[in-house]
Amino acid sequence: MKNQENINVILATDCGSTTTKSILIEKIDGEYRLSHRGEAPTTVEAPFEDVTRGVINAITELEELSGRKILDGEKFINTSSDTKNGIDLYISTSSAGGGLQMMVAGVVKNMTGESAQRAALGAGSIVMDIIASNDGRKYHEKVKRIRELRPDMVLLSGGVDGGTKSHVVELSEILAAANPRPRLGNNYKLPIIYAGNKEARKEVNKTLIDKTDLKMVDNIRPTLEVENLQPSRDKIHDLFMDHVMAQAPGYDKLKKWTHCPIMPTPGAVGEIIKRIANKEQISVVGVDIGGATTDVFSVFEDKFNRTVSANYGMSYSICNVLADAGVENVSRWLSHDLKESDLTNRIANKMIRPTTIPQTLDELIVEQAIAREALRLSFDQHKKFAVSLKGVQQERTISDTFDQTMSGETLVNMQDLDMVVGSGGVLSHAPRREQACKILIDSFLPEGITELSVDSIFMMPQLGVLASVNERAAIEVFNKDCLVRLGTCIAPNGEGEIGQEMLDYTIFVEGKKHTGTLKYGEMKVIKAKYIECKASFNLKGNFSIQNESIFESSVYGGEVGIVLDGRGRPFNFNMNTQNRKSLIDNWRNAINEYPNLEM
C-alpha cells in the first residue's frame, strides 16, 4: 500500500447479501471526492459460488462509467505506471456469507446470559438461543437443542471472578456432552469463547479443549457491578473473519486482493455512525437496512450500541418481516386496495427472487410499506437490547441487577435524539428523497426536534473501512458526497382529535417568515435548504416539545425541508383508524411523496 499522501485513486467495494456495490474515489484539486459508482448482483449463489465474480462485475461497471481501466484480467492496475488508469488502494466490506449465528450460555439467564447476548449482538451476530443454568430446561433438552442448532460459535459466560465455579463448569459439561458440530464445514472444531469466572478456566479447559476450539477472554461480568463486553466482542469478530466469512464462496480470493482486512459491513457502518456523533457532539440513531438483516446503531450520551435484527430485511428475510409485523401492519400504509393473498404473494416472490426491483408505483409503495415495518421492528429490538453499556465497562448498582431487563430502556430516549441517519438500498435508492424522509419518520417516530439524513448512494460501509486506513479521505467524501441532509422533523408529544389545533409556528427561512397553525393528524413541509432557520413554537392544550409549551430553536432544512408532523406521539395508526386512506393521501401530498400516483 502506498503512503497516504500518494493515494489519489481509491476503489472500495461492499459485498452485500444481494448486491455488490463499488465506488471510485479520486483526489480532485487536492480534495477526495466520490467520482463514480457501480453495482452488480452478488455472486455467492450457484453456479458462480464466487463472491469475486460480482466484485469484478461491479468494478467493470465503474470502468465503463469512468473510462479508467482498473483491472487487467483479475489483477489490479497500479497508478504508478499510468495515472489515467489503475488505482492506489483497494478496500472492501462484506456481509455475504449469511451472517454469524451464535449460541450464548450464562449461569443466570437475566445476568450473565443477557450480558453474553449483548456481547454477541454487539459483535453483529444472530443469537440463536441462550442456554442458562436456570432456563428451566432439563439437561438432555439443552444438549438436544445445542446439537440441533449447530451454531457458528458459542460464547460461554457465567460467574463473577473468584465466585462459585460449579455452575459454569456444569455449562461446559453440557457443551462437551452435546459435542456440537459447526453449521458450515465438517473439518474444523466448533469455536467456543469462554468469558466466565477466570478461576474456572482450568476446569473449563479440561472439559472442552479436546472437543472444541476453545478461546479464553476476560470475564464478561468480572464483578456483579461491572460488565466488560469488549474482549468477547473482539474475539467474536476475529473468529467471524477466520471461520464464518471464510466459508463465503470466493472470500479467500477477495481477502488477497484488498490492501487491508475486509471489515464486516455492520462494523464499518458503526464506525461511521460513531464518527458523526463524535464530530457533531449529538445523539444519533443510524440504520442500515439490507436484504437479509437490518442493523441499528445508536449513540446516546457518548454510549455506542449496535444491534443486528438478523431476520428483518428487504429480500431474503422479507417474509419474516411480514410474519412478525402481520399483514395488517403492512397494509395500514397502503391507500390502494390489495387482496391479502396478492400482497403476501408479492412479498414472498421478492424473497425467492431477491434481486428484482419494483417496476410500478404500486409495487414501490408495497416495498416501502414493508420497509417501514422492518425498520420499526428492528428499532423496537434495538430499544430492548441497547442497554446502558459504557464501551468497555458498564457500572451497575446492586439494585440494577435485580431488574436487568429494564436497564436498557433509558438509553434510547427519543426526546434527546438529534439525528436519524438511514442507509441501505430501500432508503438510499428511494427514487425521491421525500420517500426516504417519510419512511424514516414513520418507522422511527422521532419526538421533538430531530434531523433526518440518508446515505446518498449507500456508501457508508465503504467509508467506514476507508476511515480505518485514510481518515481524511473518508471524512471529505462523507461530508461532500455521502450524507444527504433531508431536513428536520418537528413532532410534538401528545394525543388529540383530528383537526384539533396543536401548535402555532413561526419559522424564518432565508429572511422569509413562515407562520401557521399545525392541526392534529396533519403533516406540513416548509421548504428550506440545509441552513440554520430560527423557529418558535407555541403549543396548545396538552401538546409539548421536550415537555415545554413554548419552544424556540434553530432548525435546519435539507433536500426535503422542515417537516411538521402533527400526528402526535404516541402515534396511533392502524387499519381501523377512521379515514385511514384519506389520511395517508394527505400525508403523501404534504411531503410530495408520490406525485405521479393517480388517486
Which residue has 440513531 as its cell numbers?
285
Tell which residue, 114, 124, 106, 281, has the closest CA to residue 196.
Answer: 106
Q: From CA 459, how far away is CA 422, in angstroms rounded?
A: 11
* CA Rg value for the chain: 25
Considering only 278, 349, 515, 546, the residue that binds other proteins (CB under 8 A) is 349
Stretch in the footprint of other proteins (CB under 8 A) among 83-91, 252-260, 358-366, 470-478: 358-366
| Residue 560 found at the interface with other proteins (CB under 8 A) | no
Scanning residues 415 to 434, which ones bind other proteins (CB under 8 A)? 429, 431-432
Q: How big is the site for other proteins, counted in residues (CB under 8 A)?
A: 79
Considering only 28, 209, 323, 406, the residue that binds other proteins (CB under 8 A) is 323
The full DSSP string for 193-208 is: EE-S-GGGHHHHHHHH
With respect to other proteins, which residue has the nearer C-beta, 226 or 361? Answer: 361
Scanning residues 292 to 321, which ones bind other proteins (CB under 8 A)? 292, 311, 316-317, 319-320
Taking residue 236's Cβ as centre, other Cβ atoms within 10 Å add up to: 28
Q: Minimum CB separation from other proteins for residue 251, in Å?
A: 10
Q: From CA 233, how far away is CA 229, in angstroms rounded?
A: 6
Say whether the peptide bond before residue 47 is cis (omega within 30 degrees of 0). Answer: yes
| Residue 354 found at the interface with other proteins (CB under 8 A) | yes
Taking residue 27's Cβ as centre, other Cβ atoms within 10 Å add up to: 18
With respect to other proteins, which residue has the nearer C-beta, 248 or 285? Answer: 248
With respect to other proteins, which residue has the nearer C-beta, 272 or 343? Answer: 343
Site string for other proteins, 55-74 (x = CB under 8 A): --xx-xx--x----------
Q: From CA 477, how far away is CA 26, in angstroms rounded?
A: 10
Tell which residue, 421, 432, 417, has the closest CA to residue 460.
Answer: 421
Q: Which three cell numbers stand for residue 308?
A: 443486528
Q: Minimum CB separation from other proteins for residue 165, in Å?
A: 6
| Residue 346 found at the interface with other proteins (CB under 8 A) | yes
Task: Fill in the DSSP letter of residue 246.
Answer: G
The full DSSP string for 334-390 is: --S---HHHHHHHHHHHHHSTT----SHHHHHHHHHHHHHHHHHHHHHHHHH-----
Considering only 1, 8, 45, 335, the residue that binds other proteins (CB under 8 A) is 45
Stretch in the footprint of other proteins (CB under 8 A) among 102-110, 153-161, 171-179, 579-587: 171-179
Stretch in the footprint of other proteins (CB under 8 A) among 36-44, 260-268, 399-407, 437-445: 36-44
Considering only 10, 24, 44, 591, the residue that binds other proteins (CB under 8 A) is 44
Could you give phi then psi for residue 534, rounded to 5 degrees? Answer: -75, 135
| Residue 248 found at the interface with other proteins (CB under 8 A) | yes
| Residue 361 found at the interface with other proteins (CB under 8 A) | yes
Please answer whether residues 146 and 178 qualify as being in contact, where contact means their C-beta atoms are separated by less than 8 angstroms: yes
Q: Minimum CB separation from other proteins for residue 366, in Å?
A: 9
Tell which residue, 150, 117, 112, has the closest CA to residue 133.
Answer: 112
Q: Which residues are CB-contacts of 272 (< 8 A; sequence separation ≥ 6)?
A: 286, 460, 463, 464, 467, 474, 478
Scanning residues 121 to 160, which ones bind other proteins (CB under 8 A)? 139-140, 143-144, 147
DSSP-based three-state secondary structure for 484: strand
With respect to other proteins, which residue has the nearer C-beta, 179 or 577? Answer: 179
| Residue 49 found at the interface with other proteins (CB under 8 A) | yes
Q: From CA 364, how far away is CA 594, in angstroms rounded?
A: 10
Scanning residues 172 to 191, which ones bind other proteins (CB under 8 A)? 173-174, 176-177, 179, 181, 186
Q: From CA 306, how far away is CA 386, in angstroms rounded?
A: 7
Considering only 3, 81, 281, 341, the residue that binds other proteins (CB under 8 A) is 341
Q: Are strands 483-491 and 561-565 parallel, antiparallel or unpaired?
A: parallel
With respect to other proteins, which residue has the nearer C-beta, 245 or 482? Answer: 245
Considering only 6, 134, 278, 345, the residue that binds other proteins (CB under 8 A) is 345
Considering only 5, 29, 46, 136, the residue that binds other proteins (CB under 8 A) is 46
Which residue has 462484506 as its cell numbers?
94
Q: How many residues does the chain have?
A: 599
Q: Minimum CB separation from other proteins for residue 525, in Å?
A: 18
Strand ranges inside 60-212, DSSP E: 71-72, 75-76, 89-94, 100-106, 125-132, 153-156, 191-194
Stretch in the footprint of other proteins (CB under 8 A) among 168-176, 268-276, 404-412, 573-581: 168-176
With respect to other proteins, which residue has the nearer C-beta, 7 or 175? Answer: 175
Q: Minimum CB separation from other proteins for residue 109, in Å?
A: 19
Scanning residues 80 to 119, which ones bind other proteins (CB under 8 A)? 96-98
Considering only 43, 212, 283, 305, the residue that binds other proteins (CB under 8 A) is 43
